[in-house]
Chains A and B, each alone.
Chain A
Amino acid sequence: MKAWWIIPNRDQRDDILASDGHSIRPLKEILDPALRPEGFSHGVPNEILQRCGPQAGGEILFAQSFPRWNGKKRLFVISAPAGLDSSGRVVHLGVLFILEPQERPQFDLAYDALSAEDQAYARTLIHRMTSREREDLWARSVRELAEPAPSGPATNVALHRSCIPFSSRYEVKAGGPIRKLRFGRRRLLEV
């Protein structure tokens, strides 16, 4: 397993930065943009934020799984809102995992290189992914998605506006709560 934090773009830089917890460098040096799978998201999509509204912003966890990425690996990425940038827009903290096909992501991740503000969001994300609190459905949906699966690209919650279709087990209701879809995995795309 290899893991990197995708750092919130608070300063509206032209490049997205990433960290292995000890040093920081452009994400493109770690994951070549040309190799990023179709539909790869660098944060929580707008449609999720808009459906949840400002009150539920702190609860959101968005995850994507890309099995059989670049040959035999699995790409798994989790994102969460992480405050605002200099013009008041929501920015996102992410964790990118490159996994073996049957591997699960581990959350014993270093974050020393992150700013104090980002470290707080990193600690929260790790805590939510490891504490197994029953009522945290967002975290549960991510854990379920993290289980090795041979199927195609998937997200923890359904997207309606993505250019690329994803399978999802959960959907977001207006205001932020999520619920499991009754008929298992669905491929949702509405445009």
Chain B
Amino acid sequence: MMPVLTTFRVFLILASAPGIERHLTRLVKRAIDWWEGKKIAVIGPTAAGKDSFLARLQNQQIPRVHSNSTMGEKVKSFDVKLALSNRQVVDITCKGVINIGGETDYRDAPSGWLAVCKDADVVFYVMTVNDLAKRRFLKGRRIRQDLDWLQTAMPHLKRGALVHILINKIDEMIESHVDYRGLAEELTEELGELDQTAREVLQPYEARYTGATLISMKNKQIYTRAINMVFRAVYSAFHEIEKHRKVA
């Protein structure tokens, strides 16, 4: 009989599966320094968890009065409190964070996604694990359309701006499965396909795609673990780009 595990324990097991673990690495000091004062933008389809992500970053509960975002709204600079695995807590200042609605109407409007992304150092694209499972990143489907949009937007973004995909609601997927090994295999395959699609679609800017990370905005333990990985992955991508630039 399968032992009863918490959602977080299952997440850790999933996170160590080959093909998934490379998306998940620990944060280092240099990465923390790099993140200080960065400006971020949060985009993605409707109800993917953009507002919840911003609330989590600010160490806040998801607001009681919660709405689908109807226009580009600025969020004041804030300190991200990151709990590291060695029980250390670090503060990272994020400046001028911007969030906007997920309907394609916002994506395609001039004051929509492009306006909120254009000054960002890091653009977070938030989707759900359900989008991944339904392969909505295949041609003609919503996630793929958004990736196509990102490709056309890249020349208009800040020079060197990086893009990271957050795949939210992994907790719901874990809680609806009992065969964790099967789930890990599925996720590995789907993440690989998404990764490949993102790199292909974003050419010639694929180096600025920093990967995709499984996360849960709802489950604080998973969120804390995952956001460490995200911050490290983004920094690593930046570091790689810089290394290549210096060599060139």
Contact = CB atoms under 8 A, between A and B. Distances in A.
A88 interface: yes
B73 A162 contact: yes
Given A12-B47, A13-B46, A38-B110, A163 B98 contact: yes
Contact of A28 (B96, B102, B108, B115): B108
A89 B109 CA distance: 23
B111 A37 contact: yes
Interface stretch (A44-52, A106-114, A123-131, A142-150): A44-52
B103 A9 contact: yes
Interface in B94-112: 96, 98, 101-112
A105 interface: no
A67 interface: no
Given A53-B65, A85-B47, A87-B47, A41 B71 contact: yes
Interface string A30-62: 000110111111111111011011100100000
B65 A54 contact: yes
A15 B101 CA distance: 11
A30 to B, nearest CB: 11
A14 interface: yes
B67 interface: yes
Interface residues of A, number: 42
A191 interface: yes
A45 B70 contact: yes
Contacts of A37: 111
The size class of the interface chain B forms with chain A is 35 or more
A54 B102 CA distance: 23
A39 B108 CA distance: 13
A164 interface: yes
B139 to A, nearest CB: 16
A16 interface: yes
Contacts of A34: 108-110
B76 interface: yes
Contact of A191 (B64, B96, B105): B96
B108 A44 contact: no
Interface in B105-143: 105-112, 115-116, 142
24 contacts: A14-B142, A15-B105, A28-B108, A33-B104, A33-B108, A34-B108, A34-B109, A36-B105, A40-B71, A41-B70, A42-B101, A42-B106, A43-B70, A46-B73, A50-B65, A85-B47, A89-B66, A89-B67, A90-B65, A90-B66, A91-B68, A92-B70, A161-B74, A162-B72
Interface of A: 9, 12-16, 27-28, 33-34, 36-47, 49-50, 52-54, 57, 79, 81, 85, 87-92, 161-164, 191
